[in-house]
């Protein structure tokens, strides 16, 4: 009977009436709800026969759209909530009896129903899906991925938490009930991937043969091209040699013809002139070759000479810097040490009147404070002892200074020898002059002699009392006889006494 209703067009006429539900007159909402319930119940179990594709793709989605349109109109009226429940009982039967695509079944009207803030409307929607999922034996894993978390997040706290919990439990139980479905899908995906990879491998292997043949062809063409280039180069060289020989042959033939035209007495001078010019050319080439060879041989010597000159300039610069630093150090030390004036030496710039006054003060002090040893012999003996102690101290200081100078000279000589050894030429090209430069200490000796000469000149310009602290040429400047002679010659009135 249901199939006859569909085939006769009665159900299509009912769907057309439901689609015009917004334009129905007032008071016909109950009849429209009853018509939607009857139409959906008649569609359950229909055998459309050869019209199955049109039934599922066109008729059922249009019926679902009409039912949802009627439901969206009913929720806008306060007296339509009971009719809304009655209308919303129809979609679960359609979803259970037939497979309807979700994108076709859920139209804009269903979105308007979901946007309603009425608790009763939300509860009816949840119950509708709960009934559909409970009665349906199909797996929900493909259409409900993430639905349980979405329900738990957005639909709690609206007054129908038990129904939400029931729907979440149903979705999760369905997911656990059908693990073999996902496993079979994984196996199918693995088989598809393996087949695709094997196809790609076979295709790659087939292309390898073409790649190898292409490489071989290019290699052969490259070899052939290289052979052609070599052959052309050899042919060019051969052509150059042939042209040179032809030119030489033509030159000799022309020269022979010219010789035949010359008188007999001019042939010999002409040949001698040619020989002389050839000899000059040969000699010029030979001299150029010999000079180049000599320059290459002397290049190593020139390089070592330049290195020695550079080392000498560097050493001189270092010595000048060291001398300057030593002079500055001695000047600073002299400025830091207070000047000491000996008791028998007057101050710098001492005049005769000042000297007489000092002598008078000394005599007064001696007369006021007589010594316990009044004898002259005792005074002279004490004076000699003091002079000997002072002389020994100054000699010790002189020896220390000479030792320091000797150590500095040895260090300078060692550094010079190290620089020469570092820049020394190899043993294969060493000469006698290079060997003598390591054996002769003429450089350090000359520097030491120049320094000694300058020191002697400076010492000769100093006053006599400044030389008391130094020893010149091994002569003892602080012996008792030398000191007495200095005192006799410089002290006024000493000779008369």
Q: pLDDT tens across 21-45, in order?
A: 555 555 577 777 777 777 777 777 7
Q: Take residue 343 and report the two structure tokens written for it.
A: 């008791």
Q: Is the pLDDT of residue 219 over 90?
A: yes
**Taking a C-beta distance cutoff of 8 angstroms, is the pair 391, 478 a contact?**
yes
SS3 79: helix
Q: Vertex 157, ends 156 and 162: CA angle to 5°?
A: 65
Confidence of residue 454 (pLDDT cuts 50, 70, 90): confident
Mean pLDDT across the stretch 380-386?
85
Q: Which has the closest alpha carbon to 64: 27, 15, 22, 4?
A: 15
**Taking a C-beta distance cutoff of 8 angstroms, is the pair 44, 93 a contact?**
yes
What's the mean per-residue pLDDT of the chain? Answer: 76
Residue 95 pLDDT: 67
Q: Take residue 453 and report the two structure tokens written for it.
A: 């000469």
Backbone φ and ψ of 472, nearest 5°: -110, 115
Q: Is the pLDDT of residue 473 over 70?
A: no
Confidence of residue 481 (pLDDT cuts 50, 70, 90): very low
- Which residue has better confidence, 410 or 78? 410
**Taking a C-beta distance cutoff of 8 angstroms, is the pair 135, 92 a contact?**
yes
Q: Take residue 75 and report the two structure tokens written for it.
A: 């929720």
Q: What is the pLDDT of residues 433-444, one digit of tens each?
A: 777 766 666 666
As beta bridge partners, residue 475 has 472
Q: Which of 16-30, 123-137, 288-302 has the highest mean pLDDT?
A: 288-302
Mean pLDDT across the stretch 325-340?
79
What percentage of the chain reaches a pLDDT higher than 70? 74
Q: Is the pLDDT of residue 153 over 50?
A: yes
Mean pLDDT across the stretch 186-190?
84
Q: Is the pLDDT of residue 252 over 60?
A: yes
As beta bridge partners, residue 472 has 475
C-alpha distance across the termini of the chain, in Å: 177
Confidence of residue 338 (pLDDT cuts 50, 70, 90): low
- Which residue has better confidence, 78 or 195? 195
Query: CA 24 to CA 244: how far, in whole Å?
Result: 117
Q: Is the pLDDT of residue 231 over 80?
A: yes
Q: Is the pLDDT of residue 490 over 60?
A: no
The owner of tokens 């043969």 is 209
Q: Which has the closest alpha carbon to 421: 406, 403, 434?
A: 434
Name every residue whose Cβ is closer than 8 Å to that of residue 468 and which is 6 or more positions away in sequence: 342, 477, 478
Residue 422 pLDDT: 82
Q: Is the pLDDT of residue 364 over 80?
A: yes
Mean pLDDT across the stretch 117-122?
72
Q: Is the pLDDT of residue 102 over 70?
A: no
Confidence of residue 425 (pLDDT cuts 50, 70, 90): confident
SS3 351: coil
Residue 177 pLDDT: 52
Q: Is the pLDDT of residue 136 over 90?
A: no
Q: Which has the closest alpha carbon to 411: 312, 315, 325?
A: 315
List b or e across 89-127, with b for residues whose CB sees 16 or more CB atoms inside 10 angstroms: bbbbbbbbbbebeeeebbbebbebbeebeeeebbbbbbb
Q: Which has the closest alpha carbon to 109: 72, 59, 58?
A: 72
pTM of the model: 0.29
> Can you give the length of the chain in residues?
497
Residue 234 pLDDT: 94
Q: Is the pLDDT of residue 462 over 90?
A: no
**Taking a C-beta distance cutoff of 8 angstroms, is the pair 112, 76 a contact?**
no
SS3 240: helix
Residue 344 pLDDT: 46
Query: CA 198 to CA 190: how far, in whole Å?
Result: 12
Q: Take residue 439 and report the two structure tokens written for it.
A: 């054996």
Residue 317 pLDDT: 92
Query: CA 49 to CA 3: how far, in whole Å?
Result: 9
Q: Is the pLDDT of residue 104 over 50?
A: no
Query: CA 136 to CA 146: how far, in whole Å?
Result: 19
Residue 4 pLDDT: 72
| Cβ count within 10 A of residue 244 | 10
Mean pLDDT across the stretch 403-423?
81
Query: CA 314 to CA 478: how far, in whole Å?
Result: 43
């Amino acid at each position: 009977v249901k199939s006859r209703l569909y085939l006769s067009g009665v159900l299509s006429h009912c769907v057309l009436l439901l689609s015009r539900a917004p334009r129905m007159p007032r008071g016909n909402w109950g009849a429209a709800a009853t018509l939607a319930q009857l139409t959906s119940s008649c569609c359950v179990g229909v055998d459309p026969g050869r019209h199955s594709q049109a039934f599922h793709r066109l008729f059922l989605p249009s019926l679902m759209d009409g039912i949802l349109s009627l439901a969206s109109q009913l929720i806008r009226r306060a007296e339509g909530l009971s009719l809304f429940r009655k209308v919303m009982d129809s979609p679960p039967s359609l979803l259970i009896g037939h497979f309807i695509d979700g994108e076709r079944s859920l139209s804009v009207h269903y979105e308007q129903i979901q946007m309603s803030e009425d608790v009763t409307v939300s509860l009816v929607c949840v119950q509708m899906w709960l009934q559909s999922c409970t009665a349906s034996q199909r797996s929900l894993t493909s259409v409900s991925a993430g639905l349980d978390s979405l329900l738990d997040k957005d639909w709690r706290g609206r007054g129908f938490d038990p129904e939400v919990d029931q729907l979440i439990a149903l979705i999760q139980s369905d997911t656990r009930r059908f693990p073999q479905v996902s496993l079979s899908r994984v196996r199918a995906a693995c088989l598809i991937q393996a087949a695709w990879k094997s196809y790609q491998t076979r295709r790659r292997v087939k292309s390898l043969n073409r790649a190898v043949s292409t490489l071989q062809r290019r290699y052969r063409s490259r070899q052939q091209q290289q052979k052609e280039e070599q052959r052309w180069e050899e042919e060019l060289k051969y052509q150059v040699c042939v042209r040179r020989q032809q030119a030489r042959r033509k030159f000799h033939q022309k020269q022979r013809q010219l010789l035949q035209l010359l008188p007999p007495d001019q042939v010999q001078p002409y040949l001698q002139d040619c020989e002389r010019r050839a000899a000059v050319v040969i000699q010029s080439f030979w001299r150029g070759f010999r000079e180049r060879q000599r320059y290459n041989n002397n290049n190593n010597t020139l390089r070592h000479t330049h290195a020695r000159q550079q080392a000498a300039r560097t050493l001189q610069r270092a010595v000048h810097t060291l001398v300057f630093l030593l002079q500055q150090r001695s000047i600073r030390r002299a400025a830091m040490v207070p000047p000491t004036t000996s008791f028998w030496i007057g101050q710098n710039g001492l005049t005769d009147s000042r000297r007489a006054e000092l002598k008078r003060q000394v005599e007064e002090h001696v007369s006021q404070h007589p010594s316990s040893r009044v004898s002259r012999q005792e005074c002279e003996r004490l004076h000699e002892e003091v002079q000997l102690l002072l002389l020994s101290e100054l000699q010790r200081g002189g020896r220390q200074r000479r030792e320091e100078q000797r150590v500095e000279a040895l260090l300078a000589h060692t550094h010079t020898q190290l620089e020469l050894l570092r820049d020394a030429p190899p043993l294969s090209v060493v000469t006698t002059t290079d060997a003598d430069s390591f054996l002769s200490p003429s450089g350090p000796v000359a520097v030491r002699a120049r320094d000694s000469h300058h020191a002697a000149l400076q010492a000769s310009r100093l006053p006599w009392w400044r030389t008391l602290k130094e020893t010149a040429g091994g002569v003892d400047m602080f012996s008792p006889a030398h000191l007495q002679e200095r005192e006799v010659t410089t002290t006024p009135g000493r000779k008369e006494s």
